[in-house]
Structure 1
Amino acid sequence: MPKKLIALAAAALCCAGAHAQSSVQVTGLVDVYAGSMKMAGDGDRRSVVNSGGMTTSWFGFKGTEDLGGGLKASFQLTSFFQADSGAPTRGIPNDTFFSRDANVSLSGSFGSVLLGRWMAPNFLPSVIGNPLGDSFTFSPLILHMNVPLFNAASWMSTTPADTGWSNQIVYSTPDIGGFKANLQYQFGEQAGDNGKKNIGANFFYFGGPLTLTGFYERDQVSNPGTSVPLGATTKDWMLAAAYDFKVVKPYLSYGQAKADGLPDKAKTLQLGASAPLGAGSLLASWAKTEMTATNRDRKTFTVGYDHYLSKRTDVYAMYMNDRITGQTKGNSFGVGIRHRF
């Protein structure tokens, strides 16, 4: 009899486990390049071995638990790092350790609800909307939107609230015929801040060869550390499209950014294309941002080749030309390797 009870108990435990499957994985990406860099407005050229030529290096932990009935709980804890030096940062002042992701979420047929630090509304549409993806080194669109220049050009990013938001709640819709959307709200969490906050939304449509995406943000607080109020409320948006003709995939995006009380409006147009070539892709992208009040503009062009050695490892070579009104022009090139794990 005891043996039968033990067998029944074991069977019951196995059944219970089937309704509560969980998994945790260590994951990440390492990207290092060597090159010679000179941005518009730089006085001198820099020879470098740097991290993150095509993607910012990162590592971390992700996990999911099946709660049954179609409900799942998930978490993400991921951190940027500099693969060339080992520094635990992406190079932004006051960057938190888990500045890439630090969140927990519940998902089901209703979509998902996430709490914590996650991507800002602007980030994924800008990555999907250009052929160089999330390159903070060579992608013209990403550079214009997200990377200020601390040189004679004094170029400011058009999305000042960063590519990731802390202290936020996100609702993500389920996939409806290839369409998905995220609604995002970041709490200011500062006493006497008069309710300052960030709000935004983005959408994605994947219909065969056609990709459509876009975002809108109303930004009042900065990131990644404590939610320090920005100097002015900024409204920024972008729409992007791509169509895969197999022999070539063209990209088009257009967006604007405007800070309340300041005269300038930033208007950014980006054209790009990718084409399969051998075991990789030929990539090209051009972006122009016009500052309407000060009559300044920035034009950046990048062309390169990304060659896949395997599904997880690729090597690349990129050339970039960068120009800003009234500043010395810049020319940069780099070769690198990227590995996912």
Structure 2
Amino acid sequence: MQKNLVTLAAALLCATAAQAQSSVQATGLLDAYVGSMRYAGDAERTSTVGSGGLTTSWFGFKGSEDLGGGLKANFALTGFMRMDTGEAGRFPNDPFFSRDANVGLSGSFGALTLGRGLAPNFLPSVIANPLGDSFTFAPLILHMNVPLFNASHWQATTPSDTGWSNEIIYTTPDFSGLKANLHYQFGEVPGNNSKKNIGVNALYFNGPLTLTAFYEHDQISNPAPTTYFGTTKKDWMLGGAYDFSIVKAYLTYGEAKSDDSPIKAKTTQVGASIPLGGPGKVLASWAQTKLTDVDLKRKTFTLGYDYNLSKRTDVYAMFMNDRITDQDTGNSFGIGMRHSF
């Protein structure tokens, strides 16, 4: 009996040690909304149950293993999904693990990641606007990342998506709130291996102050890699936020240009997050993009309210006004719910 107890205790001790050294987590965020949508240039309004009102829905697995000496092995396999239909991806033919598919090492040197991961533009753009990564209602994200397949023929100003495949990312250690990410995407273009995407971003957090920036030099399309643009596209952005307690203010400015065109896209965004009603907050953001040489502007304004029911669940209501030069104005509104796990 005593021998059996010793054996059981040893087994439990080993299991505990293994648990402390290695972990795998099923994680994700689900976001669905009901609304009436009309973007600038749309001929008619669309009533919809949609996915990703404030955050693109995703799910997957993340994990790490403690290798000793402060060194860890990490992995992430996460994919986007559409809550309204249950389909994988943000759109047809999006890779299954389109959000993350990578392994890497982290330690006192920072972190090194291989595989599919974020593009340099993503974190700075979502951190520096009050509606975060909303590809439905955030004016800055709409201008940068969402083309319109309507009469306006609006093209996203970000050259190559918000995620890159075939990528190496080096993340620096945290220097008193400052951290940078260096991105390199292999083009893998047969017969022309010199084509690539490179970029860098920087994030700074110090109390109420947030500062961020990114730069990209892109020659390869995404999310489907190994396709050469035929030119080089460059874009950059500076952004920041300051929390005054009664209001958190946001400001960004960025430019995008292709080497084969004289047109430059200049985007300014201002926003605010105002605490109201306990765990709730009013969200407001306005963005304007000017296209030089063609006298074209897009102006988008969103006003909404987000209320936290718990640490993992919130409900929201949004109204958006969208205008593009010489196009019909679009007004949209939606009510939705997010749940993270």
Normalised TM-score (structure 2): 0.95
Give, as a single letter, the amino acid of the residue that structure 2 aligns with 1:53: G
Q: Superposition pairs for residues 150-229 of structure 1, below 5 Å?
A: 150-229=149-228
Which residue pairs with 2:84 in the alignment? Answer: 84
Aligned-partner Cα distance in 2 for 1:338–1:29: 7
> Aligned letter for 1:338?
R
CA distance in 1, matches of 2:10, 2:314: 47
- Percent sequence identity is 69
- Aligned partners of 1:233 and 1:259 also within 8 Å: yes
Deviation track 1:191-235 (CA, whole Å, cap 9, x = no partner) reads 123511000000000011000001000011011123211242110
What's 1:261 paired with?
A: 260
How far 1:18 sits from its partner (Å)? 6.3
Letter in 2 for 1:63: G
Report Cα offsets for 1:83-119 as digits up to 9, x if no partner. Answer: 111011111x431100000000100000000000000
| Equivalent position of 2:47 in the other structure | 47
Q: State how far apart, in whole Å, the 1-side matches of 2:331 and 2:216 are.
A: 32
Between the aligned partners of 1:228 and 1:65, the Cα distance in structure 2 is: 35
In the TM superposition, residue 174 of structure 1 has moved relative to its aligned partner by 0.6
Matches within 5 A, 1:20-39: 21-39=21-39
Inter-partner Cα distance in structure 1 for 2:26 and 2:187: 31
3-state SS of paired residue (1:113): strand
Residue identity opposite 1:42 in structure 2: D
Aligned residues of 2:159 and 2:234 also touching (Cα < 8 A):
no
Preserved CA contact (<8 Å) 2:183 2:199: yes
Residue of structure 2 equivalent to 1:337: 337
Please tell me the root mean square deviation across aligned C-alpha atoms, in Å: 1.9
Unaligned runs of 5+ in 2: none
What is the rounded CA distance, in whole Å, between the counterparts of 1:182 and 1:16 in structure 2? Answer: 34
Q: d(CA) in 1 for partners of 2:171 and 2:142? A: 27
Map of 2:66 onto structure 1: 66
The 3-state SS of whatever aligns with 1:339 is: strand
Look up the match of 1:236.
Answer: 235
3-state DSSP class of the match of 1:247? coil
3-state SS of paired residue (1:236)? strand
How far off is 1:293 after superposition? 1.1
Is the contact between residue 19 and residue 68 of structure 1 (CA under 8 Å) also seen in structure 2? no
**Gap runs ≥5 in structure 1:** none
Q: Which amino acid in the other structure matches residue 213 of structure 1?
A: T
Assess if the C-alpha contact under 8 Å between 1:19 and 1:66 holds in 2. Answer: no
In the alignment, structure 1 residue 117 sits paired with structure 2 residue 116: yes
State the AA in 2 paired with 1:34.
Answer: V
Structure 1 distance, partners of 2:185, 2:233, is 14
Partner secondary structure for residue 261 of structure 2: coil
1:252 counterpart residue number: 251
* Paired amino acid for 1:162: D
8 A contact 2:187–2:193 mirrored in 1 = no
CA deviations over 1:223-264 (Å, ceiling 9, x no partner): 112321124211000000100011000000000000001011
Aligned residues of 2:105 and 2:113 also touching (Cα < 8 A): yes
List aligned pairs for 1:303-322, cutoff 5 A: 303-322=303-322
Distance 1:15 1:54, change over 3 A: closer
Shift of 1:169: 0.4
Contact conserved, 1:129 with 1:253, CA < 8 A, in 2? Answer: yes
**Partner Cα distance (1:106, 1:57) in 2:** 27
SS at the partner of 2:311? coil
- Contact between 1:137 and 1:143, CA under 8 Å: does it hold in 2? yes
1:294 and 1:19, CA in 2 relative to 1: closer, same or farther beyond 3 A? same
SS of 1:224 mapped into structure 2: coil
- The alpha-carbon distance between structure 1 residues 20 and 308, as it changes in their structure 2 partners (threshold 3 A), is closer
Would you say the 8 A contact 2:159–2:235 is kept in 1?
no
Pairwise CA distance, 1:14: 3.9
Q: Report how many residues are paired.
A: 336
CA displacement at 1:190 relative to structure 2: 1.6
Q: TM-score, normalised on structure 1?
A: 0.95
1:189 partner amino acid: E
Q: What amino acid does structure 2 have at the position aligned with 1:269?
A: T
Specify the alignment match of 2:146 in structure 1: 147
Contact 1:281 1:307 in 2 (8 A): yes
Query: Is the Cα–Cα contact under 8 Å of residues 299 and 322 in structure 1 kept in the other structure?
Result: yes
